[in-house]
Structure formats: C-alpha cells, structure tokens
Amino acid sequence: MKSLIRLEDLDPADFIIKWRMTEMCNINCSYCIRQHGNAKKIDKELLKKQEVRLHEVAGCISNFLNKTELSNVKIDLIGGEVTLFDLSKILFNLNTDKIKKIQITTNLTQPVSYFKNLVNILSEKGIGLSMTASCHYEFQSLNAYFDKIKVLQEFVSPLTCEMVSHSGNQDLCKEFKVRCEDIGVNYMLEADLRDKSLSARERGLMVASKKPSAGPRYKAKFSDGTEETYVTRNSFLYDKSIKENSEQKWIATEGYFCTNSAGFVYIDFDTAVGRTDKNDSCTNRMPIEEFTITSPRRCPHKHCSLCGHMSLWK
C-alpha cells in the first residue's frame, strides 16, 4: 500500500483566506452538512451586530495584506449563509489591490440581482467573483434553482453547482447531474460525511463527481514513485490504495509539513485560527488584528480535515 509524500493544492492563489462570516442560515435543511448539526437559525439583533464587526474585519484583512509581498490573494467566504449580509457593502471596505478573487458558497436563496450588484462592486476593485451554489431542494425547486443558474452563468466564473448526495436522494442527484450537463455548468455531488456508516457514505459517493473539465484540485506524489490528481477532497480521501486514508474522513498528517498560516488562514468570524511564531499547533486563536504569516512547519496533530486548502509534504 502506498504512502503519501506530497499533496499539493493546485489553486493558483499565493494566499487563501477562508472566512466563516456567520453560523446563521435562513433555511434549515434536514441533511445540513455542518459538522455539529444544522446551521443556527437567524437572530436579527445578533445579525446586525455581526454585520458591524464584519465591516471592521474587512478593514483588518486589508491592513494585514498590505504589509505583505503577496499579489494574488483569494478570499473564500463561507457560513452559515453569507448572503444574509449585504456583501457588496462589507467587501467595499477591502482597501487593497492584493485580492484577485472572492469565492462565495451560497444556498442561492437571494435573487440574481443581489449577485449582479456584488459583481459590479467587486469588478470596480479588479476582483473577480467565483461561486459554489448549493442546491437545497427542500426549500427551492430544481426549476427555480436552475432558472437562477442560467443567468449567473453569464457573469460568475467559475460557477459550480453543488448538491449533498446521500442514500435517500439518489434519483434527485441523477436529475441534478443531467441538468448541469445540459447547460454545461461545473457540478459536484458531495457525499454526506456526517454519516457514521462507511457503506452509507460510499453509497452517497456513488454519484459524487465533478465535471472533468473543471480540472483537478489536488496533485499527490506517493512512496512508490506514482503521482495522481484528484478533482475533490473526497476523491482523495476515498482512494483506498493510500495507507493514511484508512478512516476515509480525515488525512493522517502528523509529522508532515503544512502551509497553514504560510499560504492559508482560516478566520472564524473575527478570529484568526492558525499558527504563531511560537506555537506549531494550528488551533491558536487570535484577533485578526494580531495575525502574521509564518513559514511552513511540521504538523503536531494526528489528523487534519485539511480545510480544503493546505499543501502537505514529508
């Protein structure tokens, strides 16, 4: 069985910020893939307070980036549901020319005009918008979802359609896949990894795929000299020929070098979760005002969820 030597994230950005803006969501899907159960329901007072602080965080991100030599930064906005906020106003506060791309993951409950406005604001700053639009069929029909997708295709790039795949919705997944292929949009069917049963996760994965033209996202080198590319993190995790992937949920990372805080940082609302110069663990929390870039270092933890963006090597 082969062992991992190097796993490379192929995203062209030289630094990626993953920013969880809120835990709240305006819908409450039974199959929500948030790790600790369903996303939180809306609290209007809290939402207003969060919006005020998010404006400040955008300013802090600009300050931190402007002190670096970086030139191609991507910010990946996740929730909850990020479009609960007026993103065009929050992102207008980004006062830096380092950012080239904003990626959002949304449940697409906002009208198309919301996203058009966002694209206009960002393009004035030389920033492109990419999107993963999740299809939540319990709250929006496939017809209503694809009506929006067909318009968004004209001005969002790349645009990826996504649906959670579990053993109870396989017919819908097949229809979703056919409709994505009909209009030529990238798509991804994500297995529900919360399912404790491996066989159930594998059933969900039967249709977990992405339109090949979207290209691979990871490149891996192995102890036997072979190389592989993977389109999704799941396709890597489910490669049974890799020794470290025995649990097929997390990657065993202890002792590998990783790029956390060197090429990537996760911001949990207004807190940077990453390494400091004095502490190798990636779980240190600090106000975003205090975050600085470190060099790649060895992972002290047994497993990593990879947060989607880290590169690893021995």
Task: Summarize as ranges the residues that interact with ligand SF4 (CB under 6 A).
Answer: 253, 258, 260, 282, 299, 301, 304, 310
Smaller CB separation from ligand SF4, 79 or 274? 274
Smaller CB separation from ligand SF4, 79 or 296? 296
CB 295 to ligand SF4: min, Å: 13
Tally DSSP H helices, then E strands, for the chain.
7, 17
Could you count the other beta carbons within 10 Å of the beta carbon of residue 146?
18
Smaller CB separation from ligand SF4, 61 or 282? 282
Cα angle value 28/32/38 (rounded, 5°): 60
Interatomic CA distance for residues 164 and 33, integer angstroms: 8
Tell which residue, 295, 298, 302, has the closest CA to residue 257. 298
CB 141 to ligand SF4: min, Å: 39
Smaller CB separation from ligand SF4, 66 or 295? 295
Smaller CB separation from ligand SF4, 39 or 258? 258
3-state helix, strand, coil in the chain (%, to 5): 30, 30, 40
In this structure, the strands spanning 264-268 and 271-276 are: antiparallel
The SS3 assignment for 300 reads coil
CB 78 to ligand SF4: min, Å: 16
Contact 47, 22 (CB under 8 A): yes
CB 132 to ligand SF4: min, Å: 21
CB 131 to ligand SF4: min, Å: 25
Smaller CB separation from ligand SF4, 148 or 303? 303
CB 19 to ligand SF4: min, Å: 16
Give the DSSP H or E segment for 287: strand 279-287
